[in-house]
Amino acid sequence: MRSIKNNKGAKGFIGGFIIAGAMGLFLYAKPADPYFEISKNMEIFATLFKELNAYYVDPIEPGKLVKTGIDAMLENLDPYTNYITEAEVEEYEFQTTGKYGGIGASMRKKGEDIYIGDVYENSPSQKAGLHPGDLIIDIDGHPLKGKSIDDISVLLKGTPGTQLNMKVKDNYTGVTTQKMITRGEISLSSVPYAGLTGPHNDIAYVKLTQFTEGCARQVGEALDSLKKAQPKLNGVILDLRNNPGGLLNEAIQVCNLFIDRGQLVVSTKGKQPEMDKQYKTIGSSWDMNVPLAIMVNHSSASASEIVAGTIQDLDRGIIIGERSYGKGLVQNVRRLGYNSSLKLTTARYYTPSGRCIQAIDYTHRNADGSAAHIPDSLKKPFKTNNGRTVLSGGGIEPDINVKEEPISRLAITLYTKNYFFDYATDYVHKHPTIAPALQFSLTDAEYMQFTHWLENKDYSYETETEDAFDSLKAIAIREKYYDAAKSEFTMMQAKLSHDKKLDLDKHKTEIKQVLESEIASRYYYLRGRIAQSFAADKELARSLEILGQPEKYKVYLERKK
């Protein structure tokens, strides 16, 4: 029989046994009650708030303070989980319905003054004779000088049928008058433009700006109208560029226009079992066979990506443009007390192939708290119906990549200083009519008139090259290399210094197009702005090219060998 000769070893064995036993007890102990943690921290928060209210040296604003606290708490989650106060409910509902009570005009702030921006077609503003460039002096006796756009919006919005009194200085006549305007229900169509295009006018183009209530019906009605005008349609282009998304059910119905009933469009998975759902089409398609192109860019998000992703996964059409935004999260609205709400992320969505296109990981943050894009190494491959490879974790990658040209700093400067807006106002005053939006363009002589108009106006700006040069110079000074290379820096600075007049010529094509678009909108509203842009639209040109070549179109949808 073996004996334990080493007493010390025996003690170590027994001690280890006791520790292991203790660890076992720890590992199998009942976890802390999460509801206790919630109630404990809620009690701490309530007590803290009472102490602040009772003893803080100055009066506090309870609503403002609580909202600040809630916003800070939600900031640790994702940017789509938001607290909606009673005052913000109307704005949120506008985002989902496209409707609000008001006068149907946007505002522009220049210095301390507020001007009419865009006037919406058939709106109370148009009927009252307002037009872009009019100076608004007061609303219902409230002077507007120095007010913010948000302040003005509160005064303009209200229940349809109610009236407001606006004191306006007409930009064309210079006459100041009082206008009594009756607010109406302003409904901004999610389909501001639909028309036939292409060399043979046989391609239907539909612009969808947001997935609001009824937008799928609007798209269907637009397609019906275009097919009636051109029974032999040879393609459809659905433009989802800059479309931020919206209602999930509308995205499914838009897909249903081009795919048959019973087809899986999207599935969702969340923490709660009731969030795990599959969404399929339930109606008959508008047309299952017409060649289809979906245009997207970096600002196409959410519901736009569901449509583009579904069409791509099912090989129903081609995706053209730039990689989409990459929002694969679903939000629901939970009603709180006192007409407030919480919009929160409840699930992730997956396209028919099974991929989630969410591009940013908000759960696993960097050490500094920032959220990072999902790296290429973690993007997983999935297959379309035809066996083409598509990836998760980075938005919708188009089948045909067409890169949008970056906007020049000169164009941005002219826009932010309202020079496009002001010149368009002058142009309209001198030109009662112009050509239809699709044909309208400025002559070279008219562009020169614009450049002369800009003389003696401040539109100074720094180019990206100048910014980089300034940074390099600052580093050289800090690291004490500047004195030795001072002459070279001086020479380079002289070469990089830009001439504003030369820049107007260098960026002529871009500047001219933006100005033409602004002018066209004065005569033909938003639909005119869209139509006028077709001539310079590279993505549209590429879409028309592919749809005009049926065999080439089919090749893009085939499995790559």
**Does pLDDT of 20 surpass 70?**
no
Render pLDDT for 126-184 as a digit per residue (tens, 0 to 9).
999 999 999 999 999 999 888 888 889 889 988 899 999 999 999 888 899 999 999 99
18 pLDDT band, cuts 50/70/90, is very low
**Cα 28 to chain centroid, rounded:** 49
Q: Among 212, 339, 330, 353, which Cα is nearest to 276's?
A: 330
**Does pLDDT of 22 surpass 70?**
no
- Yes or no: say if 539 and 320 are a contact pair by the CB < 8 Å rule: yes
Render pLDDT for 363-381 as a digit per residue (tens, 0 to 9).
888 888 888 899 888 899 9
For 379, residues 6+ apart whose C-beta sits below 8 A from its C-beta are 391, 392, 393, 394
Q: Average the pLDDT over 193-201 and give the result.
A: 96
**Does pLDDT of 560 surpass 80?**
no
Render pLDDT for 319-374 as a digit per residue (tens, 0 to 9).
999 999 999 999 998 998 888 899 999 999 999 999 999 999 998 888 888 888 99
93 pLDDT band, cuts 50/70/90, is confident
Token pair of 141 as six digits: 């006796």
pLDDT averaged over the chain? 89
* Angle at CA of residue 423, ends 419 and 424, nearest 5°: 115
* Strands lying side by side in the sheet with 292-296: 193-197, 203-207, 235-239, 292-296, 318-321, 400-401
Residue with tokens 């089919």: 554
Q: Classify burial at 415, counting beta carbons within 10 Å of its beta carbon; exposed 0-12, middle 13-18, buried 19 or more.
A: middle
410 pLDDT band, cuts 50/70/90, is very high
Range name among 207-211, 249-253, 462-466 with the lowest pLDDT average: 462-466
Q: What is the pLDDT of residue 66?
A: 87
- φ/ψ of residue 487, rounded to 5: -65, -40
Q: Average the pLDDT over 451-460 and give the result.
A: 90
The CA distance from 496 to 477, in Å, is 19
33 pLDDT band, cuts 50/70/90, is low
SS3 state of residue 501: helix
**Does pLDDT of 98 surpass 90?**
no
Domains of the chain from N-terminus onward: 34-77 (no CATH), 99-187 (2.30.42.10), 193-403 (3.90.226.10), 409-463+498-546 (no CATH)
Q: What is the pLDDT of residue 216?
A: 97
- Given the DSSP bridges, would you call strands 184-187 and 99-102 parallel, antiparallel or unpaired? antiparallel
**Does pLDDT of 118 surpass 80?**
yes
Residue with tokens 């909108």: 521
Dihedral of the alpha carbons of 260, 262, 266, 270, in degrees to the nearest 10: 170
Q: Among 77, 95, 83, 82, which Cα is nearest to 360's?
A: 77
8 pLDDT band, cuts 50/70/90, is very low
Q: What is the pLDDT of residue 6?
A: 41
Render pLDDT for 262-283 as a digit per residue (tens, 0 to 9).
999 999 999 999 999 999 999 9
Question: pTM for this one?
Answer: 0.85
- φ/ψ of residue 226, rounded to 5: -70, -35
31 pLDDT band, cuts 50/70/90, is low
The CA distance from 517 to 211, in Å, is 24
DSSP tag of 457: S
Q: What is the pLDDT of residue 89?
A: 77
**pLDDT top residue among 546 and 110:** 546
